[in-house]
Chains A and B, each alone.
Chain A
């Protein structure tokens, strides 16, 4: 564990972003970074509860949950996965740009990230609408008459248990989408702040930490996609 230590003489003019309780910028940056990592751990535990519920029901009511999963459109899920991976790349490029002092490029990359975020949400909206039209949204109007296709063999399933799948589907992807929206908000704000000259090669910690957040939201989706869409695809 790194001890805090006062570095040797800093630049003559202390960085205006240095908060009073830190000895130097390096300590501040390390603290901010560790703080963000810890926050991401809490997010993992938060989603972990949902994953746990899903895995438990998956093993208890295998066929029913698989039947629900088979009604999801892999095409959209795959496109969304690609969209998010590309958006993580643009985030990295944004950080790289500000590290080299290229504020304009940073803003551009952040903007692309935001656009990709909206694309993701748009596709989710399409998927949710499809589910709504098929009466797969849990609640009063839920109605399911399908079966689980096990390599051509049709296995009947209990609609209540299939509703469980959709409850968890909407809970997990909904919570994820909420985090996406927050992420889009943060990236937009950072883009504006960059445009206003707040960041430079000497100080870009918020962009770095927001990038970590974005990567986590991406990774959560990378787990959601196979678990929700891909397992038990035998068609």
Chain B
């Protein structure tokens, strides 16, 4: 058991979950009090001792399924396995679709329907087992991923057909309302998802038996959500990210306000000190200070929404959306080669999808040809909104700084840095790619308080964390330069 546990912990670490030595010991200790035959309890024990972040739970679950797949409760396990002599017959049935194979499939479908209607987990699991045995056609040693087998199994069962059939069967009574039908559909969909999960688990179990734990775990390893590359995140991942950035924006708001609050001790409040001293016989034991009035942080957020930044821009706008709930003085802008203010689209209560659509439709971000032109876009920003920048405003620019070999106009950046309290640049490209090709990152970086590589959520987090620390401007220019007219 201990060997298995250390292997499992190793796998967790490989997939990016930080498991400390202490936690490993805790897990081993906790297992002494755990009924190992009770799978949910066993999982709860490992989960609560080894994984301390809800975001890591999915990776934990995958690893758990792989490592302890063989420990799954398997009622009549060997009975489910396909006897060798059955293989040819099965392939014949899948080709011709007649004889005992078809009857078998019908029986399976019938059982599946029953399991889905009643929500019978045990039966569902048994059907999943049997389906994989019959339909997946798994062969030992074949270098195919689990998805292929999943597809094969589910295709033969024709899952979508089953859902419609179930609904038709349930919808026959005349008194079912529209609402009822809808709830029923959702319920069935959920159960079918459960079934899929069972099938997946079964396939995994067989793969593990065939290839061994380490090999399977390795193929299933996926980057954690916070390490997902924002430039190439899928729609689902972006949605999940959208949910987890809320806490981050709250933190950012707190950080920006905190810096101010800590920056200056308030002046002595003579009146309150004297008043307070009365309770200690006139000895001013506790000097009272006027608390400095917390000023609200002003944030200007400039997002590159050009084609090369499509996925990241969506994420950036999600960030804008989340931030608009936290900052009363947040102004957001989108740019390609022109710039437009998009603050209004993210007004309190607006749905993100609607706001996103409005940015795409209404914001005038294209000036000439719709290829990134930082020089022009920033120049336009300076002309139109530059006078709004005060020593209290923080400017955050997100973009890859790929300027299509146009004039970077970094003098505008210098002016902005001069006017604002701080300018930060978040670049979603790996640091190694900066200044390659048409990237003009360092030209801008000279004027920024700091530049960050923000390719994933973790880096965004560290940017927010880092804001609390006082920093010096890196090579900031202090020239008496006035920007030219841009229009």
Q: Do A and B bind each other?
A: no
